[in-house]
A and B are shown apart, each in its own frame.
Chain A
Amino acid sequence: MSSQRASTPDESVREISRAVRDGERSAESVTRAYLDRIDALDDRVGSFLTVDRDGAVEYARKLDRRREAGATLGPLAGVPVAVKDNLCTNGLRTTCASRLLESFVPPYDATVVSRLRDADAVVIGKTNLDEFAMGSSTENSGFQPTRNPWDLERVPGGSSGGSAAAVAAGFAPAALGSDTGGSIRQPAALCGVVGLKPTYGRVSRYGLVAFASSLDQVGPITYDVDDAALLFSVIAGPDPHDDTTAAPTATNGSESSPDADRSDLHGLRIGIPREYFPDSLPEDVSLPVRAAIDRLRGAGADVREVTLPHTNVAIATYYVLANSEASSNLARFDAVRYGRRIEHDSDSLAMMAKSRSAGLGPEVQRRIMLGTFALSAGYYDAYYGKALAVRDRLRADFESAFDDVDALVAPTSPLVAFPLGSKVSDPVSMYLCDILTASANLAGIPALSVPCRDAHPLPVGLQILGPRFSEERLFRIGRAHEELSAAPLPRSPIAMASAEGDAS
């Protein structure tokens, strides 16, 4: 271990990268400090599926040697980053939390992983998820559940629960997740950290194991909005390997400088969607969110109510479309070129069916079945075709709202973190966890979840949604929300525990 100052779990990405670039700290010492925390504490949380101790330390040493040789390191110099295990990492196993891919080692990096490395970040490991990102609690992992660092008897949300829990536990200052119907924002909300679902097309999906290709986006999970903005600036941008990627145009990508008065929202129109505050919304969610909205109004924002009238059918639309796309995307897992094979003496089709059923968990099989049904002859128009048409209505709802306001603010999740096991046997109840997040994916718009610092005792997320390519505006509102909160950013009990063993 270096004699330099040790890392602590409340450091920002910005502080770490500056200190490493300036030579105040070595990348190796930072990396080892986080790895030591993981070694000491992650058996309680279960956020990682693979920790790349040797690879991470070696990579950090190379960064230190480059800096010592006079090189200027990149914007994520020496920053340990945890990567959701559905993003391909060259030479490091990528399982999607599925037994089917237990031993799969990709021969290439996802574009977002390459961009992290190009920015001199250190990939320290791969985080747990609901198998193939299908779930809202990270209990559907084929390997282990992840626990919420705020309360180890509760779920961290999902499907990027491992990434959100890792950041909330102080095992990494930043992580990548993927969001198909809320899988970055909901776990970020339940774990008290920041999560961004970018505009569809803003971040490359190359090397992300596809779940629902028209909905999937990769995004950052961090402690605060500035760190999320920094990670986003590194991973975003067109990629020749993904033809849905695009750059923002001059008119929709601009926003005021982050150096301006961070809590001044004069001139900004914020809509409150009526449908996102149903009577059934519990007070432990609604009160901190409404208090945050009052603070935004007090900072000069013009706050007004708006309506998104098709919100009540968003979940049905989402699950028809996502499962249909999943049934097609997961057809590739046939145990021919990769994946665990159950040998069968006589018949390739039987081999595929036995291998898939042995390797895939019950939720993944249920979704493949539902998607296959929705795409099958006789039902295609009634389910898949109808859901596409309703998606068009949902998209129109947002376009109409954004004619009147610049952004929308709402809760991220209708519930705080729920007890482990309380929803696993009731798929419909679990699907409804996505009710406030799935619409953004269906409309292709960006959405940011930022903790309400006064929520107690469990975290609550404030969700900020904007028109396509308006990420900078979301960051501006998110920063203002942070500035306006009187309370400091709370830390989870696991994040407060030291690697030497004084955890409560």
Chain B
Amino acid sequence: MQRTDIEAIASLARLDLTPEQLDRFATQFEDILGLFRALDAVDTTDASRAATTERHRSLREDRVAPTLPLGDVLANNPASDATRFLVPKILDDRAS
């Protein structure tokens, strides 16, 4: 696997990796993907590809109920003005 491939995956995963980390991942990926390629030998004709084990879907009725108090919701917030979550801007100037 090429380093550019690792950079593309890191971008998708929202990780900011150092050059050393990129090189290390590239090496480790080869080992780990070698382990994963053992799956190729299994005949899976007609096998189910369901993403979960048996699910029982015991759905409940929608019900109006109080939400958490605003103070509790924001208590773990890394940046707020006491009423909202604050983030750096998400649109550049041309979009506004």
Contact = CB atoms under 8 A, between A and B. Distances in A.
Given A214-B53, A310-B42, A107 B88 contact: no
A310 B38 CA distance: 11
Contacts, number: 167
B32 A351 contact: no
Nearest to B24: A362
Interface string A199-210: 011000000000
Contacts of B66: none
B13 A428 contact: no
B94 interface: no
A350 B87 CA distance: 11
Contacts of A320: 36, 39
Contact of A319 (B32, B59, B76, B90): B32
A238 B77 CA distance: 32
B81 interface: no
Nearest to B74: A337
Contacts of A348: 87-90
Contacts of A393: 42, 44, 47
Contacts of B76: 103-105, 337-339
Classify the secondary structure of A's interface with B.
helix
B39 A386 contact: yes
B12 A345 contact: no
B35 A331 contact: no
Interface residues on B, range: 35 or more
Interface residues of A, number: 73
Contacts of A107: 68, 72-73, 75
A354 B18 CA distance: 11
A312 B49 CA distance: 19
Classify the secondary structure of B's interface with A.
loop
A245 B36 contact: no
A370 B35 contact: no
A392 B49 contact: yes
Interface string B41-74: 1101001111111111111100000001000110
Contact of A338 (B48, B78, B87): B78
B79 interface: yes
30 contacts: A105-B75, A201-B54, A201-B55, A243-B56, A243-B57, A313-B38, A316-B36, A317-B39, A334-B14, A336-B87, A337-B77, A337-B85, A347-B89, A353-B14, A356-B14, A356-B15, A357-B17, A360-B15, A369-B6, A373-B29, A386-B42, A387-B39, A389-B44, A389-B48, A390-B44, A393-B47, A427-B28, A427-B31, A428-B31, A444-B54
Given A369-B10, A392-B44, 15 more contacts: A104-B76, A201-B53, A246-B56, A319-B36, A339-B76, A349-B14, A357-B15, A365-B21, A386-B39, A387-B39, A388-B51, A389-B48, A392-B48, A395-B53, A444-B53
